[in-house]
Amino acid sequence: MRIQVCGLVWAVSTHATNHFASVTYAMTAALILSPMLWESTLSFQVLLPGFAAAVLVAFVVLALALAWRQGLQVIPWLATLAAVVTTLALIIATRDLAPFTVGLLAIALATEVTVCLGRQFTLRAVPAIAADFAVWLLVYLMTISRWRTELHTYRHVFGASPVHPYVHHCREAGRG
């Protein structure tokens, strides 16, 4: 993840002097992050889907924050497009809709917040359309009885997480 952060920082810092290098750094960061998350989540199963979604959201938020001062368009576009495509691919591959749908909604929220704060980024439609697709897919699959029973067996889809036993334990300990 350090390489992707450095790539985004270098992309923003070199934009004033060399636009090609700036775009190359941002594209390299995005092209390294997407396969890394794919392999870590699916092949190696080192990352939980929720953590992979959080990493993608953090990548987009970092790109938006770094590009804020100079009003850059290309770097947030590349980061957002890479995150949205990776998230949609991970939705299909993992069949774990909830964390990635929340991730797409968070990416759409981040782009909308930047617009509300005065920056006119042209990338607002990309995460909004992807988030709409993910929400509708989740709603559609929840209404099909076969998927509903399959999703019911996976407790993490309905809000339980690895932290859930600890939260329950702390809640019970607090009651005395």
**DSSP designation for 41:** I
Residues 6+ apart with CB under 8 A from 109: none
Sequential DSSP letters for 62-110: HHHHHHHTTT-SHHHHHHHHHHHHHHHHHHHHH--HHHHHHHHHHHHHH
pLDDT band (50, 70, 90) for residue 12? confident
* C-alpha span between 53 and 102 (Å, rounded): 8
pLDDT for residue 176: 46
For residue 167, what pLDDT is reported?
Answer: 39
**pLDDT, tens digit (0-9, with 9 covering 90-100), for 137-156:** 988 888 886 655 555 555 45
pLDDT band for 166, please (50, 70, 90 cuts). very low
* 97: Cβ contacts below 8 Å, ≥ 6 apart: 91, 134, 137, 138, 141, 151, 157
Question: At which residue do the structure tokens 């617009």 appear?
Answer: 115
Share of the chain above pLDDT 90, in %: 59
Helix axes 74-94, 125-143, angle to 10 degrees: 10
pLDDT at 52 over 90: yes
Q: Where are the domains of the chain?
A: 2-143, 148-176
